[in-house]
Amino acid sequence: MHTACAMAKKVLITGGTGVIGRRLTELLLEKGYDVAYLSRSQKTYPNVRVYRWEVEKGYLEEGALENLDYLIHLAGAGVADQRWTDERKKEIIRSRTDTIALVAHKMAETRQFPQAFVSSSAIGYYGADTGDLRQTEQSPPGRDFLADVTVQWEAAADRVQALGIRTVKIRTGVVLSAKGGALPRIAAPARWGLGAPLGSGKQWMSWIHVDDLCRMYLEALEKESWEGTYNGVAPQPATNAELTRTICKVLGKPQWAPKVPAFALKAAFGEMAQAVLGSSFVQSTRLGSQPYFAYQYPALQPALENLLLES
């Protein structure tokens, strides 16, 4: 028993307390990993070692990088949590870039390097609204705010790669989870029989079940064939209307007839409305080259049944 504990591989996570981080932590612990977080707060978490960091002051607690096998970067202020004021936009970018830049600097300074680094990214890289155009890992970046965020985010992650560390970037779609993110917000009106498409309802949404996304992270850590950029999306995107219809079907609720008009969403959310009104049809072409990976939830309805009925 003691030997096994001594051999446990150490995984350090930034942003470990979010929806993805919490589920990923559960899976890592189940597999026998030694999990540690970088955190600003003094809060403790079961079976997780917490190291303090203060990014603005360039402080990283001693020991965080010692005997480190894997690094995962999930830190980032929520894009859909608040209206996009100029200050909020800066915070969205800084929380993704300054954080990993600090870790890269400390690794270079202490010469303590993990075997692999996996960084979250986002399909916002291609732009918030790309219509029906199919986007793959080879598609160029967009030119709006979300694209700018993601380009800077990935450039910051490249600072770790520049240290000679195998690096994987996962451009994540809309993560479906019962514990937070988009799904509980979308499902809440449907539970009251008020489910309605947003805007035209024809906009594409490239989604992924949180368990499939976390399994991508595990594969990226453990399999040396993973390198570079992957789109973290399910095989088949859904339109907003299809998502609403399927949620209502799974919950056994009628769908409310009217759509929520785009102007109402823009009035409520400002520029941030583009995150829900934009159409994004993204496919993961590179996953096909990874023989180990198979989706548990490739189709929307079984994914929603698992999250809305079983969770």
Q: Nearest-CA neighbor of 177 among 46, 37, 306? A: 306
Measured CA to CA, the distance from residue 74 to residue 14 in angstroms comes to 5
pLDDT in tens, 19-62: 999 999 999 999 999 999 999 987 889 999 999 999 999 999 99
Q: Considering only 51-60, 129-138, 204-213, 252-261, which range has the smallest mean pLDDT?
A: 252-261
* Stated pTM of the model: 0.94
Per-residue pLDDT, averaged over 54-76, amounts to 96
**Residue 73 dihedral angles phi and psi, to the nearest 5°:** -110, 105
pLDDT at position 2: 39
pLDDT, one tens digit per residue, over 1-14 is 334 445 799 999 99
| CA gap 276, 123 in Å, rounded | 13
At 135-192, the pLDDT tens digits run 999 999 999 999 999 999 999 999 999 999 999 999 999 999 999 888 988 888 888 8
Percent of the chain with pLDDT strictly greater than 70: 95
Residue 118 CA to residue 220 CA, distance in Å, equals 7
Helix axes 182-191, 240-251, angle to 10 degrees: 60
The C-alpha angle 205, 206, 208, rounded to 5 degrees, equals: 125
Q: Is the dihedral of CA 177, 301, 195, 239 positive or negative?
A: positive
Instruction: Find the farthest-apart pair of alpha carbons in the chain and give their distance in angstroms, rounded.
Output: 62
**β-pair partners for 53:** 60
Summarize pLDDT for 264-293 with one digit per residue, the tens: 767 766 766 667 778 999 999 998 777 778
Q: Which two tokens stand for residue 264?
A: 């109402």
* pLDDT at residue number 41: 86
β 116-122/70-73 pair status? parallel
By residue count, the chain amounts to 311
What are the two backbone dihedrals, phi and then psi, of residue 238, each rounded to the nearest 5 degrees?
-125, 150
**2-302: CATH number:** 3.40.50.720
Residue type, 57: K
How much is the pLDDT for 257?
66
* Alpha-helix residue ranges (DSSP H) falling in 124-169: 145-161
Cβ(113)–Cβ(107) under 8 Å? yes
